[in-house]
Structure 1
Amino acid sequence: MGTVKTCFLLLVALLIGIESEAQSQKNSNNQLLNTILSYVNESNNACEDYYQYACGKYKHVHKLDPFSEITTQTDYQVNKKFVTLMDELSLRSMESLTHVEKQVWGFYQTCRMAPLSTRNSIHYLELVPPGKNLSWPQFAGQSQVWRKDDFKWMETLARLRRYGLSNVLIKVEVLPDQLDGRKYMIDIDKPRFAEKSERLKGPLRTRLMLMQLGVSMESAAGLARALKKFETAVRDLAEVEDEPNDDLTIIELERLTGGNWRRYMEILLGHPVSLNYKVQIQNVDYFVQLINLINFMDSELIASYLMLRFVMHTQEDSMDSDEAIDCIKDLRINMNFAMNLLYREHFFEPGQFEKYQDEVHLIFNQIRSQFINQVRQNRLRLKVPQRTMVTEKLNEMDINIGNLPKNLDHRTFVQNVYKDFDLPFPHLDYAARHLKLLEIRTHQWLLQLNFPDPMNQFMFYVADAESSLSSTPYYMLRQNLVIVPYGILQEPVFGLHSHDIFKVSLLGFMLSHEVMHGFVNGGIIYDANGSSSDVGVRILESSRFEASMDCMNRDETDYLDERMADITGIRLAYDTYFGPGSTYSREQPKFTEISLRKLFF
C-alpha cells in the first residue's frame, strides 16, 4: 500500500512539473513574441530598410528607459540586478557574507561613500610617483628643482604599466606566440592613436587638465603645445608600415634599440630577468627612432606626457561617480571575476544554470555541425589542406559561459585572484582601492606567461573595461574561444523555456556571428591553436575569398570584419535551423500564425 501511495505521489509531482514547464513555455513564447512584434514598424519597407522595419518602434517603446537597443538593455538589466543585490547584502551581517561578497560589498561602499578628494587625479599621482623618491614635476614646489637626472622614462612607463597603462609610447601586451599559440609571450609593438582615448585631448583641454594637476597657469599653455607637438612626432614615427614579428632576447633588443629593456621587464614582471629572456617584438625600427627622439627631449616634458596619459587611463577605467548604477559598473570593470561569480551564485535558481549551460552548448554544437557540413560542400573550392585546417579549427573552438575557468572551483579561483584586496573596511580612499584592483588585473594578465598550455588550461579572459561591461558574446581570436557572459542568458535575448526558433534566431545568431570571426578577414590566418597559419593566409589570398570580400565591401565600411561576421553569421544561424541536417522542428507553433521563417527574421 505504501509503495502504491509513493508511486501515486511521484506521478502527481511529475504531472505538476510537466504542467508547470508547459505553462512556462507558453508564457515565455508569448512574452518574447509580443516583445518582438512591439518593435516592428510595418509602415517601413523591409526590403529597403530592414532595421527600421524590424526595430523601428524600439525607441518609442523604451522612450523612458536609459538604453537604445537590445544589447544595452541586457547590460542595464544586469546592472539593476546587482544594485538590488548590494542592497540585500547591506541588510545582512558581515559574518553571514562569503569572503567574495565582503570584498565586493566593501568596494561598492567605498565607491558610494569615499570623499570626493580621494577620486582626485592629483591623489592618484601622489600614490603613484614616477620613481622612487621622485615626484612628478609640478609637485616639486617653487623652492625645489625637479631632479630630472633621476627620471628614467622607461622605468616610469613600466611602473605605470603595472596599473594597466598600455599603448603609450610602447604597446606591451601578453599574447599567444605567433608561431605557437599554445604559449604566451610578452608582445612589444608601436602604439595606436586611432581612438580619442589613445591620444591627448585638444590644446585647450590639455591646458586646463595640466592646471587641474597643479601646473601653473603661466606654464600650462606652453607645456600643452609642447606636449601636443611631441605626441605628433611620435604619431609620425608610428605611421611606418607594420613590420613582422620577431622573437628577440633582451640583450638583442637592447643592442638594436639602445633602450634599457631589462630594467623595464624587471619592473613590469616584478622579478629579475635574464638577458636571454625572449620577447615577441614588432616594428623594431619604430623603437630605434623613438628612443633617439626621447634622448633629445627635455625630461620634464616626457614626464608630463606620461603623467597626463596615466591620468586619462585612470579616468577611462572608472565611472567617476558615486551613483549606485555607476558603482556597479565600476565593480564590473575592476572586479570582473568576482561579479561573474556573484551573478552565477545569486541570479540562477538552484540547478537552473546547468539547464542554461546545456541549451547554450547544444545551440553552439548545432551551429558548428552546420558549418562543418558547409565546409564539406566546399563552395569556395578549398584544397584538402585548407578544408582540413578550417575543420580542425571548428572542432577545437571552445565556448566559455561566464568567463570563469572550467577546470577550477570558481569560488576558490576568485578568492585567489583577489587575495591581496583585503583592505580594512571602512577604507574610504577610492583611488587607493582602484589602483590596487588595477594591479590585480595586471597581475592576472601576466600570470598567463606561466601557463604551459593555455589552450587547454587558461580558458578565460582577463577582460578590459569594454568587455567587462558588456553582456554580449565575444570571440577570442588567438584562443579560438567564444566567451558568453552570464548576462545574455535572460529575456528578451534568451528564454530557457522558449521555442527553439527564438533561441536560434536570437542567441544562436550572436554565437554564429562570433564563430564567423574565426574565419573572416581577421581570423582565418590563425589555426586551431591560435598560431599563424600559411594555409589560412592562402585561403585569404584566394580569388574567391577576395571576391567575397569585395562584394561585401561594395559600399565601403571601416568595419568589414563585423559586416562579414553579421552576414555570414545570420546565414549560418538560419541554415542551422532550416538547412540540411537540422534537427529542429519546422512544425508551425501553436502560439502564433506567423511562419517560422518570418519569425526567425
Structure 2
Amino acid sequence: MGSLLLLGCGLVALLIPTQAVVDINVATANDIHSNLNRTASPCTNFWNFACGGFSSASEYVDNFEWVEDKLPNAMVEFMESNVGEHDTLAPRLIGQMRLYYKACTEDTRTLHGDPRPEELVNHWTLHPKKFLVDGLNGVFIDERVDVAANDSMRWVIQIKMPDPAARYSDLRVLQLMRLYEEVWYTRGVFELVEKMHQLQDKYRAENPFVYTWSYGELRQQIPIPHSFFTELLGGSYTQKFDRLTFEVSDVEYLRECFRFLRDFASEPKDTYIRARHYVLVEESEPRERSKKSCIHHMRAYLPLGWNYIYDRFIYQNRAKDTRQLEEILFNLKATFGKYLDANRLQLTSNQLAYVRAKLEGIQIIIGNLPEEEAPEFYNNHYGSANFTRTNFLANLLEALALRTRLQKAGLLEGNSRVDLRHYYVNDNVRKARTSPFYENERNTITVPMEFLQWPLFDHRQHVIFQYSLVGAVLGHEMSHAFEQEGILFDAAGNESPVGLEIRESAAFRDALKCAEEQPFVSLKERLADLNGLQLAYDSFFGLAHDSRKFEYRPYAFERQFTAPQLFHLSYAQFFCGSLPPVIAHDRDDERVNVSVGNLRQFAYDFNCETSHSTNCEMWRPREEANSNRNVHP
C-alpha cells in the first residue's frame, strides 16, 4: 500500500461507517485540541505547541498514568468477584492470584517505619546467604539468565559487575545504617560498600569483552565459591553443572571482587546483604497500598498470572486489535522494504538479504503470554509459591523467590534449550512495562494489553490516529532491529558478522554521526525515534508525499488541521505530560522536537521556513530518489 489516503486533486477522508466511529474520532480530535498551547509556534517548539495545555486539561501526569489509572478497574472487579471461582481450566492459578490480592489490599502492615519486621528477621535467620535465590541481585555481581549471543535458543547464565543504578540501593543501605545505629550500624559495611564502588569505577568499561566459559572454566578463572552456584541453582554439585554455559564480562573486576570478599569479615558482609534485601523488599512493596496499586504491583511481580486473567476474563477486543496491529506492522514492513529497494546505505546483495530476512521475520505479540494454551501449564505455573490471604510481606518474599526460580527453570534440564511454547518475559522489574518493546533475540515486538486503550489506541479510531501514534510506536520498536546494536542480530536472534559489516560500513557510520550531532541520552533510542516517525509517516502518506502539492479536504471529525498536521499532532501527544527525569531516553519534548525536525516534510506540513541543514535519515530514500515516485495508490 503506497498510501493510506486517496490522493488526487485533494485528499478525501475515508468513510466513517458508524456513529460509534464518529464519536471516538471526535473525542480524539477534541482531546488533541484541549492539549494545545496556541501561544507557541509549531515551527520552533512543536512539543510545546502540541502539549503545552496538557497539564491544565488533564488530571494525570501523562498519558501512561491515564491508561494505567483506567486499567485496574476491571481487574479489581474481577478479584473481588466470584467469577472463575469454580473454573475448570486454571482454578489454582486464579486462587493464588486472589490470595495475593487479598493480602495486599487487606493486610494493613507495611514495611515503612519498621526496620526489622518479623518476617524478614525469620527469613534471614533461615537463609542468611542465599540472597540470589531470594531475588536479590546486583549486590556484588549482576547475574541473570539469558540466551547465548550465538544461539538464541540456548539458555546461558550471564555474570557481570552490578549496574550503576544499584548504587541507589546502596545509598539507602547507608542511610539505614545511620538511622538505626544501635541495631544496624557496622563500620565494616561502609568499608565494604566503598570498596565495591571503587572496584566498579576502576574496571567499568563501555563495551567489556565477553567470555564464554563452561562451569569448570569459570571456576578456574574467577574464585567464585562453589556454594554460590549450589545455592543459586539448588542441590549439590553434580555433572549437570558442566552442561551450563556462562557468558562473563568485567572479568578483572570479578576476580578482584571475589578475592577481596574471600578475605573480608563475614559479619559486615552478612549485615550488608540483609540490609540490601530489606531495601529490595522496601522498593518492591507498593508505596501506598490501594486496590489499584496492588493490581499494578501484581502486573510486575506475577506477570503470567496477571496477563492470563486479563486476557481470558477482561480483554474484549483481542481479535480486532490483533488484526489492526498486524495490518499496521505489515504496512510498516512494506514501506521499509521500499527503503531497501532504494538501498541508501549501498549494501551488498548479501547484506540486503540479511536485512530483508530480519525484516520479514519480525513478529508482533499482543500481551505477555506464551504460546502454550494447555490449562495445566497455567494452573501449575505458580505451584511452588505458598501465598496466604493474611500476610502480604510473606507473600512478597514468596513472589521474589518465585520469580528467581522461574527464571532458572530448565537451566539444568537436557541441553538448556529455550522452550518457545512456555517463553514469556519475566524480568526483574518493579514496574511493569506499559509501552511496546522489542526483543532482538526473539525478533519480536510485544504490545502489552494495557497499552491498547484510548487515548493511545482504540480499534474504532480512524487510521490517521492509529498510524500517527501506534504506527510510530511500532515503527520505533521495529527500528530497534536496525540501529547500531540491533543490526548485529540476524533474523534468528543471533549475533552475525554480516550485521557487524553493515554497522562498520561508511554509509552506516555517517548516519550515526548525523544523529549524534545533537545531544542525546541513548543513541539507539535517538535512531529509533527518528526512523520510527519517518517510517510511520511514509507508510501513511506514501514515500513521495509533498503537502505543498495538495489541497486537503477536512475530515468529518476535524476541520481545522489538515491531514499531515493532524498526523504530527497525534504523534506528539503520545509524549504529552510533565517532563520525566531523563533515564533511558531523551526528555519527551526533545524526542518530539528532534524527530519532527528531522522529518523533511514537517516544515512543508506546517508552512515553516525551511533551512538547508541536513535531515538525519538512515534507511529512508533520499528526497531526490522519491521525486520520481508515483504517490497514487
Q: State the TM-score bracket (shorter-chain normalisation).
A: 0.7 to 0.9
Q: Which residue in the other structure is 2:402 paired with?
A: 440
Any idea what SS the aligned residue of 1:479 has? coil
Whether 1:521 and 2:484 are equivalent positions in the alignment is: yes
Corresponding position of 1:253? 218
Deviations 1:236-256 (A, max 9, x none): 344256542222122222122
Task: Return closer, same or farther for 1:538/1:491 CA change in 2, 3 Å cut-off.
Answer: same
Distance 1:297 1:421, change over 3 A: closer
Residue 314 of structure 1, CA deviation: 1.8
Equivalent residues in 2 for 1:409-558, closer than 5 Å = 409=374, 411-421=375-385, 423=387, 427-447=389-409, 449=411, 454=418, 456-466=420-430, 468=432, 470-558=433-521
Partner of 1:340: 307
Q: Which runs of 5+ in 2 are unaligned?
A: 1-14, 546-551, 569-633
CA separation of 1:172 and 1:370: change in aligned 2, threshold 3 A? same
CA deviations over 1:99-150 (Å, ceiling 9, x no partner): 4333222111101222526785533532433766xx6xxxxxxxxxxxxxxx
Range 278-287 or range 114-123, more displaced: 114-123
Conservation of the 8 A alpha-carbon contact between 1:455 and 1:479: no
The match for 1:235 among 180, 200, 225 is: 200
Change (3 A) 1:512 1:124: farther
| 2:242 corresponds to | 276
Displacement of 1:61 in angstroms is 0.7
Shift of 1:52: 0.7
Counterpart for residue 125 of structure 1: 120
Give the deviation of 1:308 after TM superposition.
Answer: 2.0
In the TM superposition, residue 165 of structure 1 has moved relative to its aligned partner by: 1.6
1:312 is aligned to 2:279: yes
Residues 316-327 of structure 1: pairs in structure 2 closer than 5 A: 316-327=283-294
Are the counterparts in 2 of residues 115 and 429 from structure 1 also a CA contact under 8 Å? Answer: no
CA contact (8 A) 1:405 1:458 kept: yes
Kindly indicate whether the alpha-carbon contact (under 8 Å) linking 1:520 and 1:561 is maintained by their aligned counterparts in 2: yes
From 361, 364, 373, the equivalent of 1:408 is: 373
Shift of 1:205: 4.8
Are positions 1:577 and 2:572 aligned together? no
Tell me the CA shift for residue 163 of structure 1.
2.5
2:435–2:447: 8 Å Cα contact kept in structure 1?
yes
Aligned position for 1:188:
159
Residues 215-273 of structure 1 deviation map (CA, whole Å, 9 limit, x = unaligned): 2xxxx273553243233233234425654222212222212222224x32222122444
Residue 55 (structure 1) aligns with: 51
Q: Which residue in the other structure is 1:141 paired with? A: none
Q: Would you say 1:167 and 2:138 are equivalent positions? A: yes
Q: 1:129 is aligned with what amino acid?
A: W
Do the aligned partners of 1:242 and 1:283 also contact (CA within 8 Å) in 2? Answer: no
- 1:6 is matched with none
Q: Secondary structure at the match of 1:321?
A: coil
Residues in 2 aligned to 1:223 and 1:79: alpha-carbon distance in whole angstroms: 45
2:556 paired with 1:590: yes
**CA separation of 1:242 and 1:563: change in aligned 2, threshold 3 A:** closer
Distance verdict in 2 for CA 1:382–1:403, change over 3 Å? same
User: Taking structure 1 as reference, are residues 452 and 93 closer, same or farther at Cα in structure 2, changes over 3 Å only?
Assistant: closer
> Which whole-Å CA distance do the structure 2 matches of 1:474 and 1:344 have between them?
19
Residue type of the alignment partner of 1:528: A
Residue of structure 1 in register with 2:149 after alignment = 178
1:356-390 Cα deviation digits (max 9, x unpaired): 11111111121122112212211111122221221
Q: Report the equivalent of 1:108.
A: 101
TM-score normalised to structure 2 length: 0.78
Shift in Å, 1:569: 0.4
Structure 1 residues 532, 458: closer, same or farther in 2, change over 3 A? farther
For the pair 1:378 / 2:343, whether they are aligned, the reply is yes
- Percent identity for Structure 1 against Structure 2: 23
Q: Amino acid of the residue matched to residue 429 of structure 1?
A: N
User: Is 2:216–2:242's contact at 8 Å kept on the other side of the alignment?
Assistant: yes
Aligned to 1:288: 255
AA matched with 1:114: D
Rounded to whole Å, the distance in 2 between the matches of 1:535 and 1:76 is: 45
In structure 1, how many angstroms separate the alpha carbons of the residues matched to 2:353 and 2:84?
A: 58
Q: What secondary structure, in the 3-state scheme, does the structure 1 residue paired with 2:72 have?
A: helix
Secondary structure at the residue paired with 1:40? coil
* Matched-pair contact (CA < 8 Å) for 1:478–1:526: yes
Compared CA separation, residues 173 and 82, structure 1 to 2 (3 A): same
Residues 317 and 333, structure 1, Cα contact 8 Å, conserved in 2: no
Secondary structure of residue in 2 paired with 1:471? coil
Distance across 2 between alignment mates of 1:236 and 1:30: 55
Contact 1:552 1:564 in 2 (8 A): yes
Greater RCO (CA < 8 Å, at least 6 residues apart): 2
Determine if the alignment matches structure 1 residue 266 to structure 2 residue 234: no
In structure 2, the partner of 1:363 is 328
Alpha-carbon separation, structure 2, partners of 1:327 and 1:495:
26
* Structure 1 unaligned regions, length at least 5: 1-18, 136-155
Tell me, yes or no, if structure 1 residue 201 matches structure 2 residue 164. Answer: no
The offset of 1:483, in angstroms, is 1.0
Aligned with 1:530: secondary structure? Answer: coil
Q: Would the aligned equivalents of 1:200 and 1:309 in 2 still touch at CA under 8 Å? A: no
Q: Which amino acid aligns with 1:332?
A: R
- Structure 1 residues 93 and 259, CA gap change in structure 2 (3 angstroms): closer
Structure 1 residues 93 and 493: alpha-carbon distance in aligned structure 2, compared to 1, 3 A threshold: closer
Q: Say if 2:358 is the partner of 1:393.
A: yes
Q: Secondary structure at the match of 1:248?
A: strand
- With over 3 angstroms needed to count, the CA separation of the structure-2 counterparts of 1:514 and 1:198, relative to structure 1, is farther
Q: Is the 8 A contact 1:74 1:487 kept in 2?
A: yes
Alpha-carbon distance, 1:202 to partner: 7.8
Which one-letter code corresponds to 2:521 in the other structure? D
From the superposition, tell whether residues 340 and 197 of structure 1 become closer, same or farther in structure 2 (CA, over 3 Å): farther
Give the counterpart letter for 1:267 in structure 2.
Answer: E
